[in-house]
Structure 1
């Protein structure tokens, strides 16, 4: 039996790649679930609503780099969805960064990447956690969850995209103490981190990363990744390394957790 039994789910970054595949998996596997999918492209949101129907899915346009708009976005979502019990944060972009050619470096691009991959997550946590901490079912603390999609590159960096790696490392270092804080209450908030390897999505397309040829062919097939991710969510896991990420996680993370446990 699946432990991923949340009936109202908000998925940030669900119009393509991992997010879109996960949205489809949730809707297919959890017939009782209602999904709110958020992304920047209205046409992509319309496609998923048309496929699954307005009774199952709602599409909302929002740009996660608008940090100042997250408060209003959260208030609007929660005002019409007081039964929201799961937030999935999946927004992410990856760009090359080559310090051997400083003239090629765009500080605006670096800022956009870090805002998308890290600062927006902090913003969503700030404005949605109070709801989850107060969430009740039958007069008791109801289980809620925040699922954040990180990366294996947050554990082991890659030379060609150091800013992306830094943003995912920052997210990982945030999640560990966040999970400890949430374990002490208030509420019953589960913090889940996903560690994807390279996955065959448009993240690596040439229009986003001109230095990569045939980027969509890189990495783990998307359907295989999604199946493995869903198995981890359904098993109730808090840490979900996928594919080659499992071996990397197992070599690195237990020792890191042991050392982290020595700090207050």
Structure 2
């Protein structure tokens, strides 16, 4: 997959991993569109990057998504790469009073359902390109669920299953459209603020993504995820216990 001269849409692009990916791709001569709900944050982020356009949009809102796609098609003639990065998480212990249902519902809406809708609506424009890509930002929790973010872990497991089946389908129907998935460990972002565990900088995730795109490495495991995944392959149960004791 070429990593230059693309038009790239990045959800949740105003900070954290999304902003790091935007910065890395912008520096390679790509046209960047970052979207999110916070207009001030998006404009501030775009002001620091070359050839970057901020568009305010809530990807959990169907009308916002339709308007976003309409604007992208009108102003940019579609996109070459979609980076589904927006995400949310609640850190809590499962209990009778935790309201896991309410928290899981919000996490699923952002981390899973909104990705399916946005991806599906952008498939036509992506399929028109000579070469294009969908990038889903997942997590090590897709393989190894983490106790204090249990329902978040479930959303990433669901996203992983969807991503795998989407890749298999497009290999048969639209082979020019490639599907990548990135599995970071804990990353130093606003979402992980307050955690006292080792964390990867967002720039490391972005660097690994660009290398993976260039090499057509469809599953990109960054930082500590590489070792944890090998542990998971040898013994899933042991990996779950080890990673939860470390976290």
Instruction: Give the alignment's TM-score, normalised by structure 2.
Output: 0.86
How many residues are matched?
236
> Would you say the 8 A contact 1:15–1:44 is kept in 2?
yes
Alpha-carbon distance in 2 for matches of 1:25, 1:217: 26
Structure 2 unaligned regions, length at least 5: 237-247
Between Structure 1 and Structure 2, which shows a larger proportion of helix residues? 2
Most deviating of 156-165 and 244-253: 244-253
Most deviating of 152-161 and 102-111: 102-111
Runs of 4 or more, structure 1, over 4 Å off, are 251-256
Deviations 1:34-82 (A, max 9, x none): 10111111112111332235xx111000112214532332233222222
Most deviating of 147-156 and 216-225: 216-225
Report the equivalent of 2:239.
none
**In the alignment, structure 1 residue 88 sits paired with structure 2 residue 83:** yes
Matching of residues 74-113 of structure 1 within 5 Å: 74-100=69-95, 102-105=96-99, 107-113=101-107
Deviations 1:179-233 (A, max 9, x none): 010001236110000001011111112xxxxxxxx32764223333333333223
Alpha-carbon distance in 2 for matches of 1:83, 1:92: 23
Alpha-carbon distance in 2 for matches of 1:216, 1:61: 32
> Would you say the 8 A contact 1:39–1:61 is kept in 2?
yes
> Would you say the 8 A contact 1:155–1:249 is kept in 2?
yes
Task: Identify the match of residue 170 of structure 2 among 165, 173, 182.
Answer: 182
CA RMSD, aligned part only?
Answer: 2.4
Matching of residues 83-232 of structure 1 within 5 Å: 83-100=78-95, 102-105=96-99, 107-133=101-127, 135-136=128-129, 142-186=130-174, 188-205=176-193, 214-215=194-195, 218-232=198-212
Alpha-carbon distance in 2 for matches of 1:156, 1:243: 15
